[in-house]
Structure 1
Amino acid sequence: MAKVMLVAGLAKHIPIIEGMDYIGVDYGAVCCLRQKLPLVLAVGDFDSTTKEELDALKKNCKVHQLPIQKNETDSEEAIRCAIELGYDEIILYGGLGGRLDHELANLHLLLYRDLPLTLMNEHNVMKVLLPGSYTIQKQYRYLSFFAIEESVISESGVAYPLCEKHLRPRDIFAVSNEISQQEAEIIVHEGKVLMIQSDDENA
């Protein structure tokens, strides 16, 4: 699988992952340059960068500059570019927190578009699971599930196992579980769920 990390402007320390390419999203591209990460592409309207920062980006990678007035968000256009370049595993890093409207827009891309997308920052990783069996590696302390539609799930290898439990969009009982060792087994029998692994910010 071809993997790419789209780095948005809220990124602090960008993780180095073997086999991962990097695309900067607006000011996130500057964050990549500061960490000396090689960029495949920089995408955005760059309204939050200085002329000097934009010139530095143009010297280091291909820049796809968007108009400030547009229908698509910078993240949405970066995802489109990534898919066009052939990536089939996309992590959007640094797109959570900050402005609530931007955060919700990124969540909508995850929840309501059929995209190979994961949202991630220093304390959270979020992914949509469709029906199937999954081995989930422990990345953060807590493991939570929210139903996007009427769903049935099972969890094992966790502090509070579930067996073919019905989960409705209004339910919140599947929050703050913990993976017991290093991995958990998850089965989505029916439906579509949002999986979140998270840590406390002071962890």
Structure 2
Amino acid sequence: MNGKRIIIVTGGTLGDWALGDIHEDDVLVGSDRGALYLIQHGYTPHISLGDFDSVTDEELSRIRSSSLTFIDCDPVFKDLTDTEMAFNWALDQQPDHIVLLGALGTRFDHSLANVHLLRKGTEQGVSCSIVDANNQIIVINQSTRILRGSYTHISLLPLSLEVTGITLHGFQYPLQQATLQIGQSLGISNVLKESEGLIELQTGLLLVIQSKD
């Protein structure tokens, strides 16, 4: 699926905002209850997969019959979350980009685990992002241009033990060859002064979180 964008819809917090992130030519993956969300809004998942322990038998039957491909597994005898199963499938397709919708929610453990999936994508050279109503999250390991879009704030947090050589261009609060270490809040709540900015770095994995209140 080179040249394609894969949208994974999973079972966290979803709303009408998510529909605006789905494009006509996207490959749609439904993870557990995320598959039901797609179907309820008129979309046909290319593949639906998971243990489906968060849907009723009737909803499961609908997901099974409305998906081009359906894969289920035992909810007890499995090692991966439904979202990671979907993410691994998406990585195997070698797309240009993977977007995770519904990957954040009330379960902080699942939310954090899903953020960590971005590291796996980055290390395999696949651009990935998590999007919800108020945030867009990516992980970078090289110099990257960032578009401001509709977001008011941008925060930088290390996902590796440290990130070195961080230099910011076009930001209200500049950094020059800075090092960020796990546990520091120096990179929180910066602002892009223009429509785009540049983040340079030398080593490490950096979480870039764009947000709006």
Instruction: Please report the TM-score for the alignment, with normalisation by the length of structure 2.
Output: 0.85
Superimposed CA distance per residue, residues 80-136 of structure 1 (whole angstroms, 9 cap, x where no aligned partner): 2112333342111111121122112212323467353322211111111103x2111
From 139, 144, 164, give the equivalent of 1:134. Answer: 144
| Secondary structure of the structure 2 residue equivalent to 1:110 | helix
Q: 1:135 to 1:108 in 2, by over 3 A?
A: closer
Preserved contact between residue 11 and residue 93 of structure 1 (Cα < 8 Å): yes
Q: Give the aligned residue type for 1:82.
A: A
Deviation at 1:153, TM superposition (A): 0.8
Indicate yes or no: 2:112 matched with 1:104.
yes
- Name the CA distance, whole Å, in 1 between partners of 2:44 and 2:172: 40
Indicate yes or no: 2:166 matched with 1:159.
no
Q: Which residue does the alignment assign to 2:94?
A: 86
Where do 5+ consecutive residues of structure 1 fail to align? none
Where do 5+ consecutive residues of structure 2 fail to align? none
- Name the CA distance, whole Å, in 1 between partners of 2:22 and 2:92: 23
Q: 1:36 to 1:3 in 2, by over 3 A?
A: same
| Secondary structure of the structure 2 residue equivalent to 1:77 | helix
- Name the CA distance, whole Å, in 2 between partners of 1:165 and 1:182: 23
Whose strand fraction is larger, Structure 1's or Structure 2's? 1
Q: Give the aligned residue type for 1:102.
A: H
From 8, 11, 15, give the equivalent of 2:14. Answer: 11
Instruction: Please report the TM-score for the alignment, with normalisation by the length of structure 1.
Output: 0.89
Q: What percentage of residue pairs aligned between the two structures are identical?
A: 31
- Name the CA distance, whole Å, in 2 between partners of 1:156 and 1:19: 34
| Secondary structure of the structure 1 residue equivalent to 2:209 | strand
- Name the CA distance, whole Å, in 2 between partners of 1:18 and 1:136: 24
- Name the CA distance, whole Å, in 1 between partners of 2:24 and 2:203: 33
Preserved contact between residue 118 and residue 129 of structure 2 (Cα < 8 Å): yes
Q: Which residue does the alignment assign to 2:50?
A: 44
From 69, 72, 96, give the equivalent of 1:65. Answer: 72
Preserved contact between residue 154 and residue 188 of structure 1 (Cα < 8 Å): yes
